Structure 1
């Protein structure tokens, strides 16, 4: 008991907490009942959290995503970083900076070779304390066995916005969505003053002047919007068709078809 008393007087680090658990397992019922009040009174706020030994830039923060095979787990970290881990065991495979003010949604490519991060950015840079426009970043994963890496692509911004849409607002933090369908990744961002759906090159495919709640179907083929009414939209019907030949470069979302 004396060694356990000493442990309970020590700072409750991860190692101390593990040793306390081992000592408790050795006690009989009477001894366990005697020491229980001391264990329970150990300051809860000082007990080690599971990520105490994780570097700050790799700590879990915000949304998460699993790849289709359930082998890769992606999560955001402080300051707009994205971390990819092994789902079984949690080993960090790669990390990268998105450059987004807020990362509110993530979606893996069907083959797990890329990740789509959606959130907001201010004038193309991650700046807090100012209104952020809807933005996204594609991150490509190189699964090299010796040194996996995550490479960020260009910043993608929605071409057309419905009013003053603040992608860093509390509304956006809970309503932003990302999905990777057969036609590629799509981003949905909403705030109190508007909602927008755009693709991986920034083409606005759908917009609404008020905040909408959205959910994508499991197969990524449609989205359901909830506002004053409930509506379903097939993404294939919203996507801007590809064009070749004269005038193709002038094609913009919302242009007459």
Structure 2
């Protein structure tokens, strides 16, 4: 066991982390409350500045030439209104105490699109930086990797183009003396995830409504200082997920604070 200044630093660090977990738990609970009791649950009830939680069906917007405004998913090449991706790399395994799949980067491409419920239609315009509890996408397509590429394998051309176009960090070089007895992922292996949203998809969207034309048209945006959440699940499922995450964060936070206060008990 550590003692003296080192022990003090460890306990203070644990306390700071505990407070951080509790803070994020509070954010999760507030977001859950927004999902279940927003300013507006139907498009027809929206006013400027409302925090909204809407369930509806996606429709691509028309452009000036009466065509549809879409974008292209960088991995699958699918035509869509939103594509989000995540790249994970395996770290550790043979030469490190830590081993596991670690997120290297995540991002998205999108174009403004429409969400329609039984009461009306509204534009969804996503612009913020993607991140947990910031501009967040909870889509089932991100649950399983679309492609896995071993560190010593030839990288497919579409993956090469994707990594170049979107400034994906270079992977860890392959080791030449990997033990033959080892199995499973190797340092530098990568997994590529992608999820898309297309016309006809059902979405649950939480964000801030802003006045678009000064009269009756509103847009849901991920405004500065406001959180944005988009999922392909229904309202109750999203609220349960937020509540479960909050319970986990509270448990970890309290455990860390208990450890911090142990010397005083």
TM-score by length of 2: 0.22
Specify which structure has the bigger relative contact order, considering alpha-carbon pairs within 8 angstroms and separated by 6 or more residues. 2
- Rg comparison, structure with higher value: 1
